């Protein structure tokens, strides 16, 4: 019986430690998955951990003195309507979500976003210099949060063909600077969904054999714990 109790403690400890390690996976591990200097149009794999994305470039913007691009976000799980503006006088980009009163009335108010680079630099707007300084191989990803609430607003990617254009500004002038906004949360950011995906051998971006190897030990521990509990309750049921 002592050995069974020992096995029970080991199994429970394994489940707790394993779950803790999964929870501790840093979100910074999730990012750009490919070189993007020659990817046209956008490869959806560049926007990870999001259910939807919006890709656009200079020719999609409207306006005269200030350029803007509006896109309906109600089809994704975040439910916001976004606007991306480019101010030619100052050469910077700005993104914000429209604020609706009563859920339907828009009076011109926006909840602007804050941009965070991979090196944790915070911006309220993004210039071509910022893009060039932060970019690697012609691509850069920024994590977005709403300045008002601090909630996630997705991720934003700029990229261009470095073999043709020397910097982001020249790519923009040639209508070859691509902008991507990833919006909507996916199961990849949900610990419960991660564990369920593991147990059913559907962990995202993990080869089936590796998923099976990880899940085998977890399943064995779960089954052992259930068996121990049921066996311990049988005398009580009698």
Per-residue model confidence as pLDDT tens digits over 26-50: 443 333 344 444 444 455 555 666 6
Structure tokens that stand for 51 in this block: 């259910």
Per-residue model confidence as pLDDT tens digits over 131-172: 999 988 888 999 999 988 888 888 899 999 888 999 999 999
Residues near 170 by Cβ (< 8 Å), separated by ≥ 6?
Answer: none
Q: Which of 21, 23, 8 is nearest to 222 (CA)?
A: 8
Structure tokens that stand for 129 in this block: 């210099």
Distance CA(71)–CA(80), nearest Å, equals 9
DSSP-assigned beta bridge partners for residue 105: 101
Give CA separation, 94 vs 134, 161, 182, in Å: 17, 22, 15
Reduced to 3 states (helix: H, G, I; strand: E, B; else coil), residue 59 is: helix
Distance CA(110)–CA(90), nearest Å, equals 20
What pLDDT is recorded for position 73?
A: 59
Reduced to 3 states (helix: H, G, I; strand: E, B; else coil), residue 201 is: coil
Per-residue model confidence as pLDDT tens digits over 90-137: 889 999 988 877 667 888 888 899 999 988 899 999 999 999 999 888
Distance CA(229)–CA(57), nearest Å, equals 60
What pLDDT is recorded for position 167?
A: 94
What pLDDT is recorded for position 94?
A: 95
Q: What is the pTM of this model?
A: 0.59
At residue 18, what are phi and psi to the nearest 5 degrees? -60, -45
Residue 89: pLDDT band (50, 70, 90) is: confident
Residues near 13 by Cβ (< 8 Å), separated by ≥ 6?
Answer: none
Cα distance between the two ends of the chain: 19
């Amino acid at each position: 019986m002592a050995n069974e109790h020992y096995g029970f403690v080991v199994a429970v400890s394994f489940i707790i430690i394993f779950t803790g390690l999964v929870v501790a996976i840093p979100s910074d591990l999730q990012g750009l998955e490919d070189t993007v200097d020659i990817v046209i149009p956008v490869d959806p794999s560049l926007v990870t951990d999001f259910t939807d994305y919006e890709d656009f470039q200079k020719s999609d913007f409207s306006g005269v003195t200030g350029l803007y691009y509006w896109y309906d976000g109600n089809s994704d799980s975040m439910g916001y309507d976004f606007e991306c503006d480019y101010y030619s006088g100052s050469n910077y980009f700005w993104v914000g979500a429209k604020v609706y009163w009563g859920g339907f009335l828009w009076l011109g108010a926006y909840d602007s976003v804050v941009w965070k680079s991979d090196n944790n630099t915070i911006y309220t707007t993004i210039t071509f210099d910022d893009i060039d300084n932060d970019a690697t191989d012609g691509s850069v990803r920024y994590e977005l949060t709403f300045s008002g609430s601090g909630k996630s607003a997705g991720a934003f990617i700029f990229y261009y063909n470095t073999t043709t254009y020397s910097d982001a500004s020249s790519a923009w002038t040639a209508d070859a600077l691509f902008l991507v906004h990833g919006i909507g949360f996916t199961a990849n950011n949900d610990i419960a969904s991660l564990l369920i995906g593991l147990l059913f051998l559907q962990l995202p971006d993990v080869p089936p054999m590796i998923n099976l190897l990880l899940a085998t030990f977890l399943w064995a521990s779960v089954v052992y714990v259930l068996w121990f509990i049921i066996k311990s309750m049988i005398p009580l049921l009698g």
